């Protein structure tokens, strides 16, 4: 199966009992669209792992495209071993029946997601230094992904994991996609509350959609509740414009789903009025225009992120920015700056609030 990453994925089927012998389920962690997720013990190493079971009807179309994308992308990144990206450890095929097969993705086990981590924090919430440290790790992960021209496209607290030692790991790459100058990214998914304005308007988009999601999550770390809680795409845009102002007509994208005059005039405001702790750096993540959104953070006296391996293809353009009083010293090179290499994207008007609509993104399904 061609997954659009320049590779074809074939998952070998080991003997039926191999996976069941090696991995002993301990507890169910959740149930998704294609199967369940379990905490399990690896009998060979004694370590805990997370098993993501995917049901595949026998004789059908094969693995769900989201699973194929996730495996192919994580296999592509495997040799780089970034500390803030969840690690795929194994892929097993087992439990075959006349009508169904089961493919199991084996991930490193992480104790909790960011949503749970925030809920468990005693009042008044996480200390600012903890939030700063988590954001540094989060931005390093995004810097790494975008340097590899990977757009995650579904960042939300449930897809960001936090270990007991405070290490952050970005997970759930089922909707991620590698982009290029020649690729049209087709219908996107991002849970509604974390969706960038250009996606809500079904305008052109690229890696800055991830940075908007990061900005929403950053604010949520302080607020302990989502920043924008719309019930539809139009309502979500209205709540965004109520906070940051309605863009000038010269800045309104052409040929989009909703005209500017569909929204009531709103004077520009600063997100810091709602979340004072954001600072200038946090506000850079919540700019309406994607090509001006959060490309570089940090003042010149702080070191940038650790050097990354050379990307394939070449790293997107980096652009400069200003001071970062709130996060001090986190540099982003996410390809969000002005560039002719911004693939066009159109969103779907059928996404439920907080839900998903799987986009094709050039994948042969």
Residues labelled catalytic: 154
Q: Give the integer Cα–Cα distance in Å for 349 and 201.
A: 9
Helix axes 128-147, 208-223, angle to 10 degrees: 170
Task: With CA atoms as reference, report the closest residue to 109 among 79, 139, 89.
Answer: 89
How big is the chain, counted in residues?
365
Place of tokens 């757009």: 151
Place of tokens 């050039």: 362
Q: Give the integer Cα–Cα distance in Å for 311 and 24.
A: 37
Q: Where are the beta strands (DSSP E) in 183-313?
A: none
Half-sphere exposure of 278 (CA within 13 A, CB side): 24
Task: With CA atoms as reference, report the closest residue to 66 among 3, 147, 141, 137.
Answer: 3
């Amino acid at each position: 199966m061609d997954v659009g990453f320049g590779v074809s994925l074939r998952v070998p089927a080991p003997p039926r009992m191999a996976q069941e012998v090696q991995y002993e389920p301990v507890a169910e962690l959740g149930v998704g669209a294609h199967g369940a997720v379990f905490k399990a013990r690896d009998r060979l190493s004694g370590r805990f792992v997370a098993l993501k079971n995917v049901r595949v009807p026998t004789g059908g179309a094969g693995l769900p495209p989201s699973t194929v994308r996730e495996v192919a992308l994580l296999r592509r990144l495997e040799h780089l071993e970034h500390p803030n990206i969840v690690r795929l450890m194994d892929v097993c095929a087992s439990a075959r029946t006349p009508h169904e097969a089961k493919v199991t993705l084996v991930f490193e086990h992480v104790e909790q997601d960011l949503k749970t981590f925030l809920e468990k924090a005693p009042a008044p919430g996480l200390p600012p230094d903890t939030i700063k440290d988590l954001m540094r790790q989060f931005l390093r992960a995004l810097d790494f992904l975008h340097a590899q021209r990977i757009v995650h496209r579904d960042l939300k607290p449930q897809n960001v994991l936090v270990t007991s030692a405070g290490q952050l790991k970005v997970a759930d790459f089922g909707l991620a996609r590698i982009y290029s100058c020649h690729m049209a990214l087709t219908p996107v998914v991002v849970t509604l509350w974390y969706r960038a304005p250009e996606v809500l308007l079904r305008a052109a988009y690229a890696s800055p959609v991830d940075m908007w999601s990061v900005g929403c999550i950053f604010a949520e770390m302080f607020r302990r509740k989502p920043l924008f809680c719309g019930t539809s795409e139009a309502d979500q845009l209205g709540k965004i414009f109520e906070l940051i102002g309605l863009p000038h007509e010269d800045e309104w994208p052409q040929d989009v789903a909703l005209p500017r005059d569909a929204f009531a005039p709103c004077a520009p405001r600063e997100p810091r009025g709602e979340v004072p702790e954001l600072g200038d750096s946090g506000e850079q993540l919540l700019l309406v225009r994607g090509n001006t959104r959060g490309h570089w953070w940090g003042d010149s006296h702080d070191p940038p992120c650790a050097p990354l391996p050379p990307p394939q293809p070449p790293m997107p353009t980096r652009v400069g920015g200003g001071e970062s009083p709130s996060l001090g010293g986190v540099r982003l090179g996410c390809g969000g700056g002005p560039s002719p290499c911004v693939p066009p994207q159109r969103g779907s008007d059928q996404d439920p609030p907080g839900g998903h609509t799987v986009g094709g993104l050039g994948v042969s399904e």
